[in-house]
Amino acid sequence: GAGDLRRPHPAYQGRHPGDRSHRLRLPAVAHAGRHAGQVLGGEPRSRRIGARALHLHSWWLRMMREVIATAFDDAGLRLSDAQVAAFVGYAALLGKWNARMNLTSVRDPEETVHAHFVDSCLALHHVDIADGAHIADIGSGAGFPGAPLAILRPEARFTLIESVSRKTSFLH
Please list, in sequence order, all residues whose beta carbon lies within 8 angstroms of the beta carbon of residue 160, skipping any fewer than 6 positions away. Answer: 137, 140, 143, 146, 147, 171
Note the pLDDT tens digit of each residue in 66-121: 999 999 999 999 999 999 999 999 999 998 898 888 888 888 889 999 999 999 99
pTM (global) more than 0.75:
no
**Mean pLDDT value across the chain:** 77
- Backbone φ and ψ for 26, nearest 5 degrees, come out as -95, 145
Please list, in sequence order, all residues whose beta carbon lies within 8 angstroms of the beta carbon of residue 45, skipping any fewer than 6 positions away. Answer: 30, 37, 38, 39, 53
Query: Which band of pLDDT confidence, cut at 50, 70 and 90, is reported for residue 58?
Result: confident
